[in-house]
Amino acid sequence: MGKHPTLRQPTVIPLITNLENKKFVKEFQNAFGNYPKVGALYGYIAATFIAKAYEKAGKTDTEKFIDALEGMSVDSPVAN
């Protein structure tokens, strides 16, 4: 089975010019030596939500974590 041609294409993530995206792309490139693909972006956003919710909840209590997530927003590489 051949490679899917879109996997060779550069990602559009570096074309987004907000400050959060520039930081994300730079840190990703420093860590991995290439541009982030969409999976890295989704993982980053999910991890940011999880970290902020645990920080807001103050402990690892499921109900407090869920309450902390309700209505939460975070800065993202694709939109602020």
DSSP letters for 40-59 = HHHHHHHHHHHHHHHHHHSS
Range of the domain at 52: 16-69
Q: Give the pTM.
A: 0.70
Question: Is 55 contained in some domain?
Answer: yes
Residue 25's CB is within 10 A of a number of other CB atoms, namely: 20
CB 12 within 8 A of CB 35: no
Closest of 28, 17, 36 to residue 78, by C-alpha: 17
Question: Is 40 contained in some domain?
Answer: yes
When divided into structural domains, the chain yields a total of 1
pLDDT digits (tens, 9 = 90+) for 14-51: 677 788 888 888 899 999 998 888 888 889 989 999 99
